[in-house]
Chain A
């Protein structure tokens, strides 16, 4: 297998695993959101790695270039990044309300309070 081969895909899988682990293993809600952010960036990285063409230029037309990288994944990811920050802030807003209601952002503490409720 020649270098770099599928190294980029492996890196994005490792990043995805880290993000996934933070989301399911950590009890702090803010940390979960940022774990989700890592997960999200790993998917972006995967798409952008797929769009790369050897010897290609950035997809802006110019007479000097004939080969361009694939513009389609760029479009998908560009919009996904902005949507990602908008949805992340919605998640953070929910956490702020949870904090207002329970006085904590730790999952275990919230579950304990829920269990104690009549």
Chain B
């Protein structure tokens, strides 16, 4: 039964992906990409990767779709021009690459094989020892925040850098007229007159934020953690900005504070590592943070997950507001 669900979902994904090749309308492409991500998220649940599914659903189907739509409104024409170039070359290259890779799969262990090499090295240790060493039921959180804390620090720095990059590319407004300051002419002007949407969404926003906090602090015990919580929290702000316009969103949550939080999260993460050094341990070794190693791990994970959540939320809000604040191209 589960194999059938798996196969059906894979087929839906391939069919959706084929749409990317044949559909020329870019708005349709962005929506298709949301469907694609949501199907992938369902598939991850089938494959026991609940944390990954959570992230994919929040990021791929949520934030990425909104960002794609905002970017599209800035690039003007939603339809792609028909290409005059021959597609035979790329087609052959793709087929060749595919054939080589398919050939390589015959050496791969079967799907779900417990004897596969991937399950033989560090994974058994994470599964057997993390309960005693870290004391956190969610193994994914233990690995993410503690065993592979360096990795995660690197990823957070990448997200921080990407947000700074978007700010550097689009952040400068060339002509700050009174009109643009009020938000008119920017990509997101808000939906005036849509009373039902505004009232119902206003009710939704606090619950989204509360859910974000739950995901943040319950990530040790169930699926969730800083990455997902940050994205969900940012989604609440983005929904507000979509409905009431970016100029009002900027008044609610000032870009200065968001940028401060963006840097603060990374610094908090790195600072926990330095605190470990000062207390006589290794960098990002949480055992020394409290009198008891397991308590130290709990404290360390709580702090760095908070840092991750802060940076991810601030990065997503910054990216969205920067896109939305950019001047829309003149109509041709």
Q: Could you tell me which A residues sit within 8 Å of B by CB distance?
A: 1-11, 13-22, 24-28, 30-31, 34-35, 37-38, 41, 44-45, 48-62, 67-90, 92-97, 99-100, 103, 105-106, 108-109
Contact = CB atoms under 8 A, between A and B. Distances in A.
B80 A26 contact: yes
B95 to A, nearest CB: 7
B257 to A, nearest CB: 20
Given A70-B119, A82-B230, 15 more contacts: A9-B108, A18-B18, A24-B93, A41-B36, A45-B13, A45-B40, A45-B43, A51-B49, A53-B114, A75-B143, A77-B52, A83-B159, A93-B165, A93-B166, A103-B332
Contacts of B72: 30
A6 B39 CA distance: 20
A56 B118 CA distance: 15
Given A41-B40, A75-B148, A92-B67, A6 B105 contact: yes
B61 to A, nearest CB: 11
A79 B36 CA distance: 19
Contacts of B77: 105
Contacts of A14: 14, 17, 98
Given A7-B7, A82-B312, A89-B323, A69 B13 contact: no
Interface of B: 3, 6-7, 10, 13-14, 17-18, 20-21, 26, 29-30, 33, 36-37, 40, 43-44, 47-52, 55-56, 59-60, 63-64, 67-68, 71-72, 74-77, 80-81, 83-85, 87, 90-91, 93-95, 97-98, 101-102, 105-106, 108, 110-114, 116, 118-119, 122-123, 126-127, 130-131, 137-140, 142-144, 148, 151-152, 155, 158-159, 162-163, 165-166, 169-170, 221-223, 225, 227, 230-231, 312, 315-316, 319, 322-323, 326, 329, 332
Contact of B163 (A54, A67, A86): A86
B47 A20 contact: no
Nearest to B174: A100
Contact of B26 (A31, A78, A94): A31
A54 B143 contact: no
Given A6-B106, A13-B105, A89-B319, A106 B81 contact: yes
